[in-house]
A and B are shown apart, each in its own frame.
Chain A
């Protein structure tokens, strides 16, 4: 990977961390607020189904995780396993796609 590419990965990870910091706070606050009196599955679905704001927020959340986690993992496997080069980057690209697929599947599952 080029120097510019490696630097952009770093920028992407920091930027996604900033998004995640906000998303995690909102996510935790929502959970704590929403379940104060207890919630059934049906009540959760009643609130999430067709809710565009909820869909937009959690889509951003999933996208930020998709960017953030594989870049961090790239450093971890380099430093701890000595794994470098194209095979590492392609594997982590696959991991990013898996995260995006699983995450969006979950988001759409409770939206639709």
Chain B
């Protein structure tokens, strides 16, 4: 903890208004710690969502001082140097209550982008052998650690302007599977991520890459999808 600040001023979005709270400042305090303090000690009616608290489950993302972040791994030191925090639900998602958003559409878009693995091998078949240093494996590796937190989706302006757009997370998932040599659903996947709601809608603003808490680059994956879809269209395979 720096300086002599003892109290944080916290504004939390609740429906159409903001509610102010004062929360004791603690060492190594995360934004999730602050929200939890409010709910446990100041207002038990506050609704928010979390599970693992260690940056694995992707359930605690919120808008903190205007930017989407995973709150369990965001230290107050980093985002509230003046002792003020504004906490709101994620953008681009319907709000269920207070800080809790409805993630149904977000994950439905993963399904629409053919985010499911489709293998052909059976139990008795040998293991697939994928060379770790192959180009495709490296591409898949670069995007595979997504935790589905919705931060990129919330940061994306194209999602805000075009609600049909599949969004960075779903397209990143499609890209990792497109580079999975074991997957057999590639033609359908390319069709799923093509068109006005697909990869070609991305303007390469890179807000997703800027905000991804796992330091992934959905923008790079989307660029790969653009090339793959365009190549398929030129070959008449789309």
A interface list, Cβ under 8 A from B = 1, 3-4, 6-8, 10-11, 75, 78-80
Contact B158 A7 (CB under 8 A): no
Tell me, in angstroms, the Cα distance from A80 to B203 when the chains sit together: 14
Contact A6 B200 (CB under 8 A): yes
B196 close to A (CB within 8 Å)? yes
Contact A3 B191 (CB under 8 A): yes
Tell me, in angstroms, the Cα distance from A1 to B196 when the chains sit together: 9
Contact A3 B238 (CB under 8 A): yes
Tell me, in angstroms, the Cα distance from A7 to B235 when the chains sit together: 12
Please name all residues of chain A whose beta carbon is closer than 8 Å to the beta carbon of B196 when the two chains form the complex: 1, 6, 78
B161 close to A (CB within 8 Å)? yes
Tell me, in angstroms, the Cα distance from A31 to B210 when the chains sit together: 40
A7 closest partner in B (C-beta): B233
Please name all residues of chain B whose beta carbon is closer than 8 Å to the beta carbon of A4 when the two chains form the complex: 194, 233, 238
Contact B162 A7 (CB under 8 A): no
| B238 interface neighbour in A1, A7, A75, A78, Cβ under 8 Å | A7
Main secondary structure of the interface of B (DSSP, over half): helix
Contact B162 A79 (CB under 8 A): yes
B195 close to A (CB within 8 Å)? yes
A79 closest partner in B (C-beta): B161
Please name all residues of chain A whose beta carbon is closer than 8 Å to the beta carbon of B195 when the two chains form the complex: 3, 6-7
14 pairs from A and B in contact (CB 8 Å cutoff): A3-B191, A4-B194, A4-B233, A6-B195, A6-B196, A7-B195, A7-B229, A10-B200, A11-B230, A11-B234, A75-B201, A78-B162, A78-B196, A79-B158
What per-residue 1/0 map shows which CB atoms of B192-233 lie under 8 Å from chain A? 001110001100000000000000000000000010011001
B162 closest partner in A (C-beta): A79
Min CB gap B161→A, angstroms: 4
Tell me, in angstroms, the Cα distance from A72 to B201 when the chains sit together: 11
Q: Which of B30-76 contact A (CB under 8 A)?
A: none
Contact A7 B161 (CB under 8 A): no
A75 closest partner in B (C-beta): B201
The residue in A4, A6, A7, A11 that gathers the most chain B C-beta atoms within 10 A of its C-beta is A7
Please name all residues of chain A whose beta carbon is closer than 8 Å to the beta carbon of B233 when the two chains form the complex: 4, 7-8, 11
Tell me, in angstroms, the Cα distance from A3 to B230 when the chains sit together: 11
Please name all residues of chain B whose beta carbon is closer than 8 Å to the beta carbon of A11 when the two chains form the complex: 230, 233-234
Tell me, in angstroms, the Cα distance from A106 to B89 when the chains sit together: 54
Min CB gap A13→B, angstroms: 9
